[in-house]
Amino acid sequence: MKQRVMTSVLLALVLIPIIFVNTIVPMILLGFILVSIAGLEYARLSKSNVLVITLISILTYSCALYFNYYNKTLIFSNIFIILIIIQLFYLVYVVLNDAKLFIPHYLTALLYMGVGFSSFVMLKIIDVRLILYLIIVIAVTDSFAFFFGVKYGKRKLAPTISPKKSVEGSIAGLVGGLIIGVLVVYLLHLDEISIFSSLLTSSLVTILVSSLGQIGDLFASKIKRTYGKKDFSNLFPGHGGVLDRFDSWIIGSMVLIMFLLIGV
C-alpha cells in the first residue's frame, strides 16, 4: 500500500503540471509517450507483433489529433465518432457477456490505445477543465466502489473477470460519481459547454462516464486474464503499467469526446 501511495504521489507531481500548464505541447508529448508504452505493453502481453501494434497505436493517435483539431474535417470527425462507438460497444459486449476477445490485435491497437489516448489529449485541447472533471469522476467512482464493496459487497459483479468487485460496490461508485460529478460541473462552470448545459445532460453524461469507466476497468482485466497476467507491466510500482493506470481514463475520455464531437 505504501508503495502504491508513493507511486500515486509521484505520478500526480508529473501529470499535474503537464495537464494544467498553459500550452498543449507537453500534453501531446505525454500522450505520445503513453500510447507508445501502451502499445508495447499490449503487444508483449498478447505476444503479437510489437512493431506493428506500437506503430498502429502511434499513427492512430497522431492522425486523430491532426485531423480532429489541426486540420479539422467533418468526415474524419464522423469516422472518429464511429470508431469510438465500435470500441464502446465491443468492451460492453465482452464484459457483460464474459465473451472471448474476438477482434484482431491491430484493431485493438487502433480502437483501444490509439483512439483512447488521443481522446484523452483532445480533452485538454478543448478545455482543460474536462480533464479535471474526468479524473475526479473516475477517482470518486473507484473509491466509492472499493470502500462500499469491501464493507457491503455480497454479490459478485464479474466473478470470472475481477472476483473482488461487487454489484453493491459498483452501484455505490456510480451514485458517488454522479453526485460529485454533477457538483464538479457547476463548480468548474462546465455548464458553459453544450453537453453539460442542463442538469439532465450533465447527469446522463456523468452516468455514462462513471459506468463505462468501470466497464473499461473490467475490460482491461479481461485482457489480462485472457493472457494469464496480473498486470500489463510493472512500470508503476503498485499500479502496474500504463494500461492498468489509465484504463478507466481513456474510456471516460472516449465518452466525453464522442458527445462533444456529436455536439449534444
Each residue's pLDDT tens digit, 109-125: 999 999 999 999 999 99
Chain CA centroid to CA 184, Å: 19
Each residue's pLDDT tens digit, 182-200: 999 999 999 999 999 999 9
Percent above pLDDT 90 for the chain: 80
Nearest to 120 by CA among 28, 43, 200: 28
Chain CA centroid to CA 127, Å: 17
From first CA to last CA, the distance across the chain in angstroms is 41
Per-residue pLDDT, 93: 97
Tell me which DSSP letter residue 113 carries: I
Consecutive H or E run containing 198: none
Domain residue ranges in the chain:
2-262
Q: All 3 cell numbers of residue 201?
A: 445532460
- CB atoms closer than 10 angstroms to residue 19: 18
- CB atoms closer than 10 angstroms to residue 129: 20
Spatial distance between the Cα atoms of 45 and 254, rounded to a whole number of angstroms: 23
Cite the beta strand spans of 36-194 per DSSP E: 156-158, 162-166
* pLDDT band, residue 136 (cuts 50/70/90): very high
Per-residue pLDDT, 169: 95
The model's pTM: 0.94
Spatial distance between the Cα atoms of 131 and 20, rounded to a whole number of angstroms: 9
* pLDDT band, residue 264 (cuts 50/70/90): low
* pLDDT band, residue 128 (cuts 50/70/90): very high
Each residue's pLDDT tens digit, 227-249: 999 999 988 887 789 999 999 99
Each residue's pLDDT tens digit, 5-30: 677 788 888 888 998 898 999 999 99
Per-residue pLDDT, 14: 86
